[in-house]
């Protein structure tokens, strides 16, 4: 079975993807600096697989930074020594907060852009040319209308998004100018929420959360954190912003489909951009109402000003993922609300407490 390097594999999307890949029998080498995650996630994934005794030795973990070239070289070298040469890389590692990226632009550039370039260099040194990259729907121009196809115009208004765009350009150029074996898929995620149904894995919240779903959860458990709805005057059916929320397990399965796609011998050198969303839009008020109904809980909220940089409606056209990857999401928004809340209830402070 192939060996896959998962960068940022202890993080929210990385850990769920790792779970699905292990279930499929892949061997995983996970690397993570743990800057926004915890070793507990790695311990949990290891013990989950020990219990099922399915593939207990299929997972190894290295703590380290993708910007550290000697660290990356050692990871690749060790894998060869162990007889499990790395054939694929799924590159999740990076910094992801839009608001923080305005405050720490250089750091975002260094980790997201320079970190990726270092990774690519070491992949080339090791003749590993299969890459799946975590990109974002934040790239799409605000003037484009949803459903957004992959060929819609891009126009980014935040430093985080600019780093993702820069990496996409860099990767596309690799195909044009470099080794003919490169096969790269850039997956543009929409709004991942939810968690693994065991309640053992989920999003590790840092202190400054900006995303709606974890803020809904926090507003329930922390009376001091009232939920603010940013705008009730958007040009949408109920005045609140519409987004394409996708269950993180569906997203994880999208990566397995991407690996299987790259594995097909017929696929020649290519750089592909593919959306991963559900193709359906849900408003802030709809999400809150579904959350309340599914979890039988009351959410207090009040309306506030629109948030700077927000857009009214963003949802994906997911036909390309179906057509090329034979992937489509299976889980409902009700399951997203149920599983995400279950994780939060079990782990209100994330993995650490």
8 A C-beta contact, residue 316 and residue 277:
yes
Q: Is 222 in the site for ligand WQD (CB under 6 A)?
A: no
8 A C-beta contact, residue 92 and residue 17:
yes
Q: How far apart are CA 185 and CA 281, in angstroms?
A: 24
Among 230, 267, 286, 328, binds ligand WQD (CB under 6 A): 230
Question: Which of the stretches 64-72, 124-132, 173-181, 291-299 binds ligand NAD when contact is defined by CB under 6 A?
Answer: 64-72
DSSP code, position 139: G
Give the distance from CA 349 to its chain's centroid: 20
- Backbone CA torsion sign across 49, 61, 165, 272: negative
Q: Is 160 a catalytic residue?
A: yes
Q: In terms of CB distance, is 16 or 243 closer to ligand WQD?
A: 243
Residue 228 binds which entry of ligand WQD, ligand NAD, none, CB below 5-8 Å type-dependent: ligand WQD
Q: Is 216 in the site for ligand NAD (CB under 6 A)?
A: no
Among 5, 14, 123, 340, binds ligand NAD (CB under 6 A): 14
Residue 324 binds which entry of ligand NAD, ligand WQD, none, CB below 5-8 Å type-dependent: none
In angstroms, the Cα distances linking 352 to 40, 131, 216, 275, 338 are 7, 31, 20, 32, 22
Q: Is 134 in the site for ligand NAD (CB under 6 A)?
A: yes
Among 76, 109, 129, 189, binds ligand NAD (CB under 6 A): 189
Residue 210 binds which entry of ligand NAD, ligand WQD, none, CB below 5-8 Å type-dependent: ligand WQD
Cα-Cα-Cα-Cα dihedral of 217, 222, 225, 228, to 10°? Answer: 30
Among 87, 138, 146, 347, binds ligand WQD (CB under 6 A): 138
Q: Is 8 in the site for ligand NAD (CB under 6 A)?
A: yes
Determine how β-strand 227-230 pairs with β-strand 242-243. Answer: unpaired
DSSP code, position 137: G
Q: Which residue has the tokens 């579904």?
A: 290
Residue 133: phi and psi, rounded to 5, are -115, 140
Residue whose beta carbon is closest to ligand NAD: 11
Q: Is 210 in the site for ligand WQD (CB under 6 A)?
A: yes
Among 75, 131, 156, 212, binds ligand WQD (CB under 6 A): 212
Q: One of 160, 189, 245, 351 is an active-site residue; which one?
A: 160
Q: How far apart are CA 222 and CA 226, in angstroms?
A: 8
DSSP code, position 27: E
* Residues that are catalytic: 160
Give the interface with ligand NAD as residue ranges (CB under 6 A).
8, 10-14, 32-37, 65-67, 92-96, 111, 115, 134, 136, 189, 192
């Amino acid at each position: 079975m192939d060996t896959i390097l998962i960068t940022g594999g202890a993080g929210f999307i990385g850990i769920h993807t790792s779970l699905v890949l292990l279930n499929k029998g892949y061997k995983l080498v996970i690397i993570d600096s743990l800057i926004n995650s915890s070793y507990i996630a790695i311990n949990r994934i290891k013990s989950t697989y020990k219990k099922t005794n399915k593939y207990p030795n299929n997972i190894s973990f290295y703590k380290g930074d993708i910007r550290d070239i000697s660290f990356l070289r050692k990871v690749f070298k060790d894998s060869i020594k162990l007889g499990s040469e790395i054939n694929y890389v799924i590159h999740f590692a990076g910094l992801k907060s839009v608001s923080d990226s305005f405050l720490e632009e250089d750091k975002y550039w260094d980790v997201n852009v320079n970190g990726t370039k270092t990774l690519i260099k070491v992949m080339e040194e090791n003749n590993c040319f299969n890459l799946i990259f975590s990109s974002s729907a934040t790239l799409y121009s605000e003037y484009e209308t949803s459903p957004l196809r992959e060929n819609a115009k891009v126009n980014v208004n935040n430093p985080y998004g600019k780093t993702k765009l820069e990496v996409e350009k860099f990767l596309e150029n690799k195909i044009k100018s470099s080794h003919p074996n490169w096969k790269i898929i850039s997956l543009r995620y929409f709004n991942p929420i939810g968690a693994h149904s065991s309640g053992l894995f989920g999003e590790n919240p840092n202190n400054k959360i900006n995303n709606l779903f974890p803020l809904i959860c926090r507003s329930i458990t922390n009376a001091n954190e009232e939920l603010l709805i940013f705008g009730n005057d958007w040009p949408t059916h109920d005045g609140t912003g519409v987004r394409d929320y996708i269950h993180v397990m569906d997203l994880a399965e999208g990566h397995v489909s991407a690996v299987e796609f790259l594995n097909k011998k017929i696929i020649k050198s290519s750089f592909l951009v593919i959306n991963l969303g559900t193709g359906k839009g849900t408003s802030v008020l709809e999400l809150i109402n579904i959350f309340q109904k599914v979890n039988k809980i009351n959410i207090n909220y009040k309306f506030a000003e629109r948030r700077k940089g927000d857009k009214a409606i963003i949802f994906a056209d997911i036909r390309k993922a179906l057509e090329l990857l034979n992937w489509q999401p299976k889980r409902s928004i009700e399951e997203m609300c149920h599983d995400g809340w279950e994780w939060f209830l079990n782990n209100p402070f994330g993995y650490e407490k």
